[in-house]
Structure 1
Amino acid sequence: MDENKPKGIMEIPLSEFTARKIINDLAENYTDRIRWSHHIKARMVQRGITTSQVLTLLKSKRSVFREGPYPEPNGDWKFNLKGMAAGSIIELTVALKNHHDSPSSVLITVWVH
């Protein structure tokens, strides 16, 4: 296995268990494969959410799936994760790309509950 490439998992439909395993691995070991959309960056500033809080949520094994994972027409799998980070309950929308071969993700938006 290439050290710079996370291991993909062939599973369709993508389960919550597998999606969590992949996103936890990306957040722990491959943060360069997590892209931050312009929208999430703007919402983080607007809502006072830090990068550390978002990464904490992505690494958490206790976060809750509020939606998904569900397939998008472009082949991505989208889901919402909700959990506690630095004293705030936040929810994050994530698109998981190429989960079966060379996973990466795009963070779409975030909000505080």
Structure 2
Amino acid sequence: MDEHYEKNYLQGSVVFPLSEFAARKILNDLAENHTSRIRWSRHIKERMLERGVTTRQILTLLKSKRSVFREGPYLELNGDWKCNIKGMAAGSILELSVAIKNPADNPTSILITVWVH
């Protein structure tokens, strides 16, 4: 049994697999209360500049309870949970690719990329 799976399964601290509901709750909380635990990849910074997307729009999407999961959350080999969420922010429809690290204990997120639809 995978060590990460076993730890979470046996302790029951996070539902395995990570549900959309739990992922949304984590992302909402990080954007509302713990922005210092959101890491911005170099790639997303470049795409934001290229596509005219603001930090405020990204945080609005992360805080939204109406955004839609387009993909995931699914467990990657490195133990991160990856998902793509899509929603409206400041009049634009955005899709954001995010990795959630340590969902059961002191979660953080890494913003990977963003698209404008």
TM-score (norm 1): 0.92
Among 17, 24, 43, which residue is 2:47 paired with? 43
Distance 1:33 1:79 in 2: 17
Q: CA deviation at 1:11?
A: 1.6
> What is the match of residue 6 of structure 1?
none
Runs of 4+ deviating beyond 6 Å: none
Q: Supply the AA of the counterpart residue of 1:31.
A: T
Distance 1:101 1:54 in 2: 24
Please identify which structure carries the higher helix content. Answer: 2
Q: Please list, as runs of the form range in 1=range in 2, the aligned pairs for 1:79-94 lying within 5 A after superposition.
A: 79-94=83-98
* Residues paired across the two proteins, number: 105
CA-to-partner distance for each residue in 1:59-109, whole Å, 9 max, x for gaps?
A: 000000000000000110000000000000000000000001110000000
> What is the match of residue 75 of structure 1?
79
Q: Structure 2 unaligned segments of length 5 or more: list them.
A: 1-12
Distance 1:28 1:47 in 2: 24
Among 65, 86, 95, which residue is 1:61 paired with? 65
Larger radius of gyration: 2
Identity %: 74
Distance 1:35 1:104 in 2: 8
C-alpha RMSD of matched pairs (Å) = 0.6
Give the secondary structure class of the aligned counterpart of 1:62: coil
Q: CA deviation at 1:42?
A: 0.1
Q: Structure 1 unaligned segments of length 5 or more: list them.
A: 1-8
Q: CA deviation at 1:36?
A: 0.1
